[in-house]
Chains A and B, each alone.
Chain A
Amino acid sequence: MKAQWLFIGFIGIAGALLLPSFLGIFEKKVDYNTQIKPLLNKNCIACHGGVKKASGFSLLFRHEAVAPAKSGKPAIIPGDADASEMIRRLTLTDPDERMPLDHPPLKPEEIDLLRKWIDQGAEWGNHWAYQSVTKPDLPRIGTFLSRLGVTVNDETDWAKNEIDHFILDKLKQDGLKPSPEADRATLIRRVSLDLTGLPPTEQDVTDFVNDKSPKAYENVVDKLLQSPAYGERWTGMWLDLARYADTKGYERDPGRKIWRYRDWLINAFNQDKPFDQFTVEQLAGDLLPPRTDGLPDDDQLIATGFHRNTMNNDEGGTQDEEFRISAVLDRVNTTWDVWQGTTFSCVQCHSHPYDPFVNEEYYKFVAFFNNTRDEDVTSETPTLRFYKPADSLKIVDLKQYIQHSAGNPKQAKAVVSQVTQLIRTVEPKINSHDFDQYVNASLLDAKYFGFQDKGSVRIKDVTLTGRPRLLIRWGTKATDASVTLHLDKLDGPVLAKFPTPKPGKDTVQMIPLPSIQGKHSLYMYLDSPKMPKDWVQIKWVAFTPILPGQPQQAVGEKDKELLAILNAEAEQTPIMLDGTGDLARKTHVFDRGNWLVKGKQVTPDVPKSFPAMDPKLPKNRLGMARWMVSREHPLTARVAVNRFWEQLYGTGIVETVEDMGTQGIPPTHRELLDYLAAEFMETDHWSVKKLLKKMVMSATYRQDSKASPELLAKDPFNKLMARGPRVRLSAEAVRDQALAVSGLLSHKMFGPSVMPVQPDGIWQSPYDGDTWKQSKGEDLHRRALYTYWKRTAPYPSMVTFDSPSREFCQLRRLRTNTPLQALVTLNDPVYVEAAKNLATYMQQHGASPANQIQAGFRRIMLRDLPAKKLNVLVQLYKTTEQHYRQKPGEAENLFDQPGLDCSIITPQLAALTVTANTMLNLDEVITKE
């Protein structure tokens, strides 16, 4: 019996030992993604990749790698490492021949691995993040019985939700244990700052501490998710991605009004607009089905402001087309950065050096964005217009008139739609920089067309069928001048002759034209004998159908009403709008990324490494946006989940939030990321609130952030999350918190950006003399996200705390710790004012200095100061009070402001102010613990 067992055992062992060496069938398959790709990226791909293909050999795609190189033979022969030139070159001794050239040779075990991989067929794998998300199983924790709830177990006891299963599983592998839950005051402060960007009030804390129900914490979370401040906080994050600013950027950097987009974000977050819809509206809101009159709702148009936050160059002499293209490319790059965590911009000039994208695919993607009507025009057209109430009434009247007067409902609908689009967006139109064949004419300041006496110009290829009205926006100082409009040639038939507008502001005029069929070029000729040197400047022209019931050859009553509306003053916000018909644009590959050298024409499509677009989707921005949020798309949900995680925990599951490609840092908890991404898409239907709730409800999130020396040594950056997050507050939160706890914060939401106190000399606007006009009243104390953002000179204290300049999309703020930050929170007048206010509060909420200090600290940190720390502050208070007793003049200086009642200035209040200023600078105060 025993011998038999031994015998069987022997066979088993022999088999196990011999088979692989004979047959190799049990040899472990080499994994391309984890074992080979890193080796290639590190050692080979710089010379044999998407940028350089030294000796005609590239390792980026399999078909390239196994194809014949310059030498005529392939460097990799799948299945035969010995015959593969690549292996030979790695193992040579002659330094001129051996690869990698001029670098240390690969280690023998690395070469063995490559050899094995080639022998196994040299198969390429798809990078993990480019494979569709599948929902992984939950790792088991605890024991069988504890999972059933029969017995008690530390693990099952600790875990609150699925997140904790993944975290705990990894911790166990590393021999670590999670930390206990943070105390309630710390926890509510953490979750409030995370979800709303503001600290909780003392009442919130008392309610929480006294809430004995098991749902106490969940109640807090639900309340925070419902708070209007929630939307403001997450908008703050999104503004970096949208490169939102209140100026246009580049050298002149003049103002831009696009705050309605910021307000749209706040509402979108607060209404928990599902992330897929949130995405589609921002990328393609203008292409969504119209509700009634030809265009989608205002809200969906405003949402497209996301991509109108690109910079606009108003500098004289710059070519609009160059900067139009640069904005289009920025939109492509930003879309990939924000939703795909992929550095697509590399592919503009060459195939991606590391990731599987080829050059042409970049331009196919550009084609999705290349058709918008914005053309770097100074007016930022196209914009959505917001009329004054009286004008809005006129618009309603006009629309009703059209509906009643049109021949049939279908025709009525078409005209209403076209007129409404014209009124709301002043599109479609031809910007005057597109005119050509100038005679005695110029593109003035490289912006708008202008001509002088006997000057002429061509408007090329206009479809005139059914459009017998010319709308023209123009202005001049000349008088007694007129323009003739010729068909097809400069001396062709005269279609119209009309006087230039009265000197003064630009006006929109309507010129009736005869009915003409087909596409024609038109020529304008200026006759201005009286003031021949004065420019007549044209901003744009448009050719439109005639309103029902209006005379063909004259401007009728309703025409005049339309003109009055088009000339009315209206607030505007930039939007995206696609060109159609004559205005549709073609896209070409740019040779080596150079916009002047046009290559092959391309049509819109998505890169081949990703799931193809559903054939039912239109091949435009809308289809692209819907493709991006489809269930099969591998990146969108992962990237979004990772970003929200990073906001709460301080570091992403993939630390390089900006790069999920092969050059990014591998995820610490890949299954968790996939689990959350799958839940986000399926179970939670892209609800950001549900996603965030899941994260903050986890035991992982609720852990105490204290670190033992052992834990610190083992996991200094808390990648395994055996403790809670402990990170410095964001620029916005540092400021908002100081204003909130001192009682200064205004909770006013929305509207144009504000200008709080800022030192002199920050703005240098040599061209337009823009100045910082300090706001008044509560606008001085609005939340940080409402602060006016000038790209070339951002609000200094925000930049000191790591806000980006927002010229381009910034995906991750690196957190710094510098002496300049100390100077801001110590000395910036905003923080001094906060300290004074807090001091007044402290004075009213305690009899003794110790009580007053406790009251102030509770207001900030929502818990009591431990005795030792209190002692330090009481000592500081006493010394300082003594100081101000001796030098009352200094106390007066501290409170020097007009209209202040001098009698309240006491050494006590001054000393409390200094103490409050000190408290607002404590590490624990500017940190989320």
Chain B
Amino acid sequence: MKNLLDELQQAAALRATRRHFLHTCSTGLGAMALGSTLAGCGFFDKSSDQPNSVGATLQSGEPSAPHPSQYVPKAKRVIYIHMAGSPSQLELFDYKPELAKYNGKDCPQELLTGKKFAFIRGVPKMLGPQGKFAQHGQSGAWISDYLPHLQGVADDITFLKGMHTDQFNHAPAQLLMHTGSARLGRPSLGSWVTYGLGTENDNLPGYIVLASGGKQPDAGKSVWGSGFLPTVYQGVQCRTDGDPVLYASDPSGISRDVRKNTIDAISEINQQQYDDVKDPEILTRIAQYELAFRMQMSVPDAMDIKSEPQYILDSYGVDPNKGSFARNCLLARRLVERGVRFVQLFDWGWDTHGTSASGSIDIGLKTKCQESDQAVAALLKDLKQRGLLDDTLVVWGGEFGRTPMQENRDGQVLPFMGRDHHLDAFTVWMAGGGVKKGFSFGETDDIGYYAVKDKVHIHDLQATILHLLGFDHTKLTYQFQGRPFRLTDVAGKIVKPILV
């Protein structure tokens, strides 16, 4: 095993060096970073200190070079669609005809004793499913009429219906979902993946975040932060209005040629500075300036969907002049096509308590589904048609589930139908990159209160995603505060039954 790892490290090092060399000759940028690599800043011998192959190239000032996985991966990239606020599984996927029978009845005391809800107080009423359910595709997947387009791609999807979590407020639950910890400060899933795999495209960040729905997720930038990992692994948020990345445009009167010369000069002087003071941050800075220069071209290009044919725009339902979730789905495809490792989508507005029409499961949830359903289905079809779905993992879900009871905030009847946050059961689905097609895993009880069979915890989901990308989640670690840290902390079991 040790030998295998060593071999992988060597391969990574050689590839990085060779790629680096070619890259240097073709662009003239990064020449100085190469110099330092060859001058022996401990590329090979240092790497043996690392618990695994990743991180070896950290020493080279080229930390985003692609690395081989720890073992053969099924997926090379991820599109993670997070519906911030958490959609109701009971209206969409987890069909509970029994629950309908109890509609309007008081919730039994045993479901409430010892439980803590975000808003439910006293004894709430049970609330039957609002969607009309039917089975779809060869696999017979239950999907409600809220998601007509998704019904058409049911046979590409694996549903995880026995998901459960520990956190019932948005920000901590989102942090747990994306960083493995409900507290601030841990690296996000996308950071771990780019740390482990590097990027396949030198001109784009390896980890890009797109947000829609008018607001950032509740937990803010921390859900794509790099925590204690080097900051080069943090997600880069692209905007859908104005400059896709702030200040990506050169100032008026400074042409690309001039800008290139300035970057070359900055890198050259910074390299001299590095030679003098040996602060490794300088190498990162050199790499970041070069990436910034390339991003100035490649990001606007990748984000410019006007070059897409009309039929593609139509299939996603995209208005090219407006930022939207649908547009972000199309952008996600364009980005993974260009070798971005991890595309994180956040869509805000799925928190359906029943306090307002837009925050209800009978009106608001339907609207959110209408705004997103076509685009998500189109994304899967588009990826499939391009042969990308085989090695791209698509994940869809919220941060927790919703209660089978109708919310009674402050013990009062709310004007609209809504459900409170729920820890014990929700649905996440995955498609592509190494997961079964047309499969359902996990079950909840008759009223959808508890996951009862084939339960999957957040850490299990994370372990499985890393596994599909070719990582043993217990070995993808980073030394911090005197001990190795990992995404799944001390937990996580791979959900093997869903793997191809």
Q: Which residues of B contact A892 (CB under 8 A)?
A: 253
Q: Which residues of B contact A893 (CB under 8 A)?
A: 252-253
Task: Please determine whether B248 and A823 come into contact, CB atoms closer than 8 angstroms.
Answer: yes
Task: Please determine whether A818 and B253 come into contact, CB atoms closer than 8 angstroms.
Answer: no
User: How far is B185's CA from A665's CA once the two chains are assembled, in angstroms?
Assistant: 14
Known: A869-B272, A922-B266. A820 touches B236 (CB 8 A): yes
Q: Is A846 an interface residue (CB 8 A)?
A: no
User: How far is B259's CA from A917's CA once the two chains are assembled, in angstroms?
Assistant: 10
Known: A706-B278, A709-B278, A876-B261. A817 touches B269 (CB 8 A): no
Q: Which A residue sits closest to B242, measured CB to CB? A: A761
Interface string of A813-832 (1 = CB under 8 A from B): 01111111111101111001
User: How far is B236's CA from A392's CA once the two chains are assembled, in angstroms?
Assistant: 53
Q: Which residues of B contact A817 (CB under 8 A)?
A: 230-232, 281, 284-285, 288
Q: Which residues of B contact A319 (CB under 8 A)?
A: 410
Task: Please determine whether B248 and A827 come into contact, CB atoms closer than 8 angstroms.
Answer: yes
Interface string of A879-921 (1 = CB under 8 A from B): 1100100010011111110000000000000100010011001
Tell me the chain B residues, 260-296 only, with Cβ under 8 Å from chain A.
Answer: 261-262, 264-266, 268-270, 272-274, 276-282, 284-286, 288-289, 291-293, 295-296
Min CB–CB distance B227 → chain A (angstroms):
8
Q: Which B residue sits closest to A251, measured CB to CB? A: B215
Min CB–CB distance B262 → chain A (angstroms):
5
Q: Please tell me which one of the listed residues B205, B241, B265, B481 contacts residue A819 in the complex, with CB atoms under 8 A apart.
A: B205
Q: Is B110 an interface residue (CB 8 A)?
A: no
Q: Please tell me which one of the listed residues B245, B282, B285 contacts residue A820 in the complex, with CB atoms under 8 A apart.
A: B245
Q: Which residues of B contact A760 (CB under 8 A)?
A: 242
Known: A766-B214, A822-B288, A917-B262. A894 touches B269 (CB 8 A): no
Task: Please determine whether B116 and A826 come into contact, CB atoms closer than 8 angstroms.
Answer: no
Tell me the chain A residues, 754-783 only, with Cβ under 8 Å from chain B.
Answer: 759-761, 764, 766
Q: Which B residue sits closest to A713, measured CB to CB? A: B42
Q: Which residues of A contact B355 (CB under 8 A)?
A: 317
User: How far is B494's CA from A376's CA once the two chains are assembled, in angstroms?
Assistant: 47
Task: Please determine whether A918 and B265 come into contact, CB atoms closer than 8 angstroms.
Answer: yes
Q: Which A residue sits closest to B286, measured CB to CB? A: A923
User: How far is B491's CA from A103's CA once the two chains are assembled, in angstroms?
Assistant: 9
Q: Which A residue sits closest to B46, measured CB to CB? A: A713
Q: Which residues of B contact A822 (CB under 8 A)?
A: 285, 288-289, 291-293
Task: Please determine whether A705 and B277 come into contact, CB atoms closer than 8 angstroms.
Answer: yes
Q: Please tell me which one of the listed residues B185, B288, B293 contacts residue A821 in the complex, with CB atoms under 8 A apart.
A: B288
Q: Is A155 an interface residue (CB 8 A)?
A: no
Q: Which B residue sits closest to A807, measured CB to CB? A: B220
Task: Please determine whether A823 and B278 come into contact, CB atoms closer than 8 angstroms.
Answer: no
Query: Number of contacting residues on B, CB 8 A?
Result: 63
Interface string of B204-237 (1 = CB under 8 A from A): 0100000000100000100000100011101010
Q: Is A873 an interface residue (CB 8 A)?
A: yes
Q: Is A154 an interface residue (CB 8 A)?
A: no
Task: Please determine whether B266 and A918 come into contact, CB atoms closer than 8 angstroms.
Answer: yes
Task: Please determine whether A827 and B247 come into contact, CB atoms closer than 8 angstroms.
Answer: yes
User: How far is B280's CA from A817's CA once the two chains are assembled, in angstroms?
Assistant: 11
User: How far is B276's CA from A726's CA once the two chains are assembled, in angstroms?
Assistant: 13
Q: Is B319 an interface residue (CB 8 A)?
A: no
Q: Is B243 an interface residue (CB 8 A)?
A: yes
Q: Is A805 an interface residue (CB 8 A)?
A: yes
Q: Which residues of A contact B306 (CB under 8 A)?
A: none
Q: Is B246 an interface residue (CB 8 A)?
A: yes
Q: Which residues of B contact A880 (CB under 8 A)?
A: 258, 261
Q: Is A728 an interface residue (CB 8 A)?
A: yes
Tell me the chain A residues, 63-102 only, with Cβ under 8 Å from chain B.
Answer: none
Q: Which residues of B contact A824 (CB under 8 A)?
A: 246-247
Task: Please determine whether A923 and B282 come into contact, CB atoms closer than 8 angstroms.
Answer: yes
Task: Please determine whether A726 and B232 come into contact, CB atoms closer than 8 angstroms.
Answer: no
Known: A819-B236, A820-B236, A826-B247. A872 touches B269 (CB 8 A): yes
Tell me the chain A residues, 831-885 only, with Cβ under 8 Å from chain B.
Answer: 832, 866, 868-869, 872-873, 875-876, 879-880, 883
Task: Please determine whether B270 and A823 come into contact, CB atoms closer than 8 angstroms.
Answer: no
Q: Is B250 an interface residue (CB 8 A)?
A: yes
Task: Please determine whether A820 and B258 come into contact, CB atoms closer than 8 angstroms.
Answer: no
Q: Please tell me which one of the listed residues A716, A726, A895 contacts residue B253 in the complex, with CB atoms under 8 A apart.
A: A895
Q: Is A445 an interface residue (CB 8 A)?
A: no
Q: Is A375 an interface residue (CB 8 A)?
A: no
Q: Is A14 an interface residue (CB 8 A)?
A: no
Min CB–CB distance B114 → chain A (angstroms):
10
Q: Which A residue sits closest to B482, measured CB to CB? A: A665
Q: Which B residue sits closest to A923, measured CB to CB? A: B270
Q: Is A454 an interface residue (CB 8 A)?
A: no
Task: Please determine whether B270 and A828 come into contact, CB atoms closer than 8 angstroms.
Answer: no
Q: Is B50 an interface residue (CB 8 A)?
A: no
Q: Which A residue sits closest to B266, measured CB to CB? A: A921
Q: Which B residue sits closest to A822, measured CB to CB? A: B292
Known: A728-B281, A823-B296, A876-B265. A922 touches B288 (CB 8 A): no
Tell me the chain B residues, 329-388 only, with Cβ under 8 Å from chain A.
Answer: 355
User: How far is B395's CA from A665's CA once the two chains are assembled, in angstroms?
Assistant: 36
Q: Is A582 an interface residue (CB 8 A)?
A: no
Q: Which residues of A contact B139 (CB under 8 A)?
A: none
Q: Which residues of B contact A764 (CB under 8 A)?
A: 214
Interface centre among B264, B269, B482 (most CB of A within 10 A): B269
Q: Please tell me which one of the listed residues B232, B257, B288 contacts residue A883 in the complex, with CB atoms under 8 A apart.
A: B257
Q: Which A residue sits closest to B257, measured CB to CB? A: A883
Task: Please determine whether B251 and A868 come into contact, CB atoms closer than 8 angstroms.
Answer: no
Task: Please determine whether B254 and A922 come into contact, CB atoms closer than 8 angstroms.
Answer: no
Task: Please determine whether B242 and A894 come into contact, CB atoms closer than 8 angstroms.
Answer: no
Interface string of A713-732 (1 = CB under 8 A from B): 00010000000001010000
Q: Is A598 an interface residue (CB 8 A)?
A: no
User: How far is B259's CA from A760's CA once the two chains are assembled, in angstroms?
Assistant: 24
User: How far is B183's CA from A50's CA once the two chains are assembled, in angstroms?
Assistant: 17
User: How far is B268's CA from A907's CA once the two chains are assembled, in angstroms?
Assistant: 24
User: How far is B254's CA from A728's CA once the two chains are assembled, in angstroms?
Assistant: 26
Q: Please tell me which one of the listed residues A816, A832, A872, A875 contacts residue B234 in the complex, with CB atoms under 8 A apart.
A: A816
Q: Is A145 an interface residue (CB 8 A)?
A: no
Tell me the chain A residues, 432-453 only, with Cβ under 8 Å from chain B.
Answer: none
Known: A816-B231, A823-B245, A826-B247. A707 touches B490 (CB 8 A): no
Min CB–CB distance A791 → chain B (angstroms):
11
Task: Please determine whether A872 and B268 come into contact, CB atoms closer than 8 angstroms.
Answer: yes
Task: Please determine whether B242 and A759 come into contact, CB atoms closer than 8 angstroms.
Answer: yes
Q: Which residues of A contact B269 (CB under 8 A)?
A: 869, 872-873, 922-923
Q: Please tell me which one of the listed residues B185, B214, B265, B291 contacts residue A872 in the complex, with CB atoms under 8 A apart.
A: B265
User: How far is B52's CA from A356's CA once the two chains are assembled, in angstroms?
Assistant: 38
User: How far is B465's CA from A908's CA once the two chains are assembled, in angstroms?
Assistant: 56
Min CB–CB distance B122 → chain A (angstroms):
10
Task: Please determine whether B116 and A594 come into contact, CB atoms closer than 8 angstroms.
Answer: yes
Q: Is A489 an interface residue (CB 8 A)?
A: no
Q: Is B255 an interface residue (CB 8 A)?
A: yes
Q: Is B249 an interface residue (CB 8 A)?
A: yes
Q: Is B19 an interface residue (CB 8 A)?
A: no
Q: Is A404 an interface residue (CB 8 A)?
A: no
User: How far is B284's CA from A706's CA once the two chains are assembled, in angstroms?
Assistant: 17
Q: Which residues of B contact A578 (CB under 8 A)?
A: none
User: How far is B248's CA from A332's CA once the two chains are assembled, in angstroms?
Assistant: 42
User: How far is B143's CA from A163's CA once the two chains are assembled, in angstroms?
Assistant: 68
Known: A728-B281, A817-B281. A914 touches B258 (CB 8 A): yes
Q: Which B residue sits closest to A866, measured CB to CB? A: B272
Task: Please determine whether A921 and B255 come into contact, CB atoms closer than 8 angstroms.
Answer: no
Q: Is B121 an interface residue (CB 8 A)?
A: yes
Known: A872-B269, A893-B252. A726 touches B277 (CB 8 A): yes
Given contacts A665-B481, A820-B246, 5 further A-B contacts (CB under 8 A): A319-B410, A596-B121, A817-B230, A890-B254, A910-B253
Closest 10 CB pairs of A and B: A894-B253, A893-B253, A816-B231, A822-B292, A819-B292, A827-B247, A823-B247, A876-B265, A819-B291, A923-B270
Query: Which B residues form the contact surface with A (CB < 8 A)?
Result: 116, 121, 185, 205, 214, 220, 226, 230-232, 234, 236, 239, 241-243, 245-255, 257-259, 261-262, 264-266, 268-270, 272-274, 276-282, 284-286, 288-289, 291-293, 295-296, 355, 410, 481-482, 490
